[in-house]
Amino acid sequence: MTDTIFQKIIDKELPAEIHYEDDICLVIKDINPIAPTHLLIIPKKSIEKISDSNKEDQELLGHLFLVAGKVARDLGVEDAFRLVVNNGADAHQTVFHLHIHLIAGREFSWPPG
Ligand code: 5GP
């Protein structure tokens, strides 16, 4: 299987605006933001989509949410942000390496489209 764009960014083969990095994940700015703040929280472990994760990923998945909260606090958007995970092409997943969108800085509507 060929590497996804995110794998290449993790491996530093492609550039990205990195907001945060640790041993487990990378947080980058989305190249095509849909809000004033639009970051992607990407685990370094390659998991295609959330429905492919399993029990052994429990700690990793928890870490991604803790990082989301930390990043939101760092940016001062902790009172209003949205986390989105698209799972599968029909749910508009376009990069098949698990990632969480962190979106903030504009009004939200509900239900999401
Ligand atoms: P998905 O549709 O899979 O949930 O989200 C993929 C996201 O990755 C999209 O919001 C898209 O704008 C972003 N994206 C695609 N290619 C790149 C890239 O090369 N660099 C960055 N920073 N973001 C990308």
Ligand 1, atom 18, residue with closest C-alpha = 31
What are the structural domain ranges in the chain?
A: 5-104
Global confidence as pTM: 0.98
From the CA of 12, how far away is ligand 1's center (Å)? Answer: 16
| 99 catalytically annotated | yes
pLDDT of 13 over the 90 cut: yes
Containing H/E element for 39? Answer: strand 37-43
Alpha carbon distances (Å) from 45 to 33, 60, 62, 67, 86: 24, 9, 14, 15, 17
pLDDT tens-digit map of 48-99: 999 999 999 999 999 999 999 999 999 999 999 999 999 999 999 999 999 9
From the CA of 85, how far away is ligand 1's center (Å)? Answer: 12
Ligand 1, atom 12, residue with closest C-alpha = 32
Determine whether domain 5-104 maps to CATH 3.80.30.20.
no
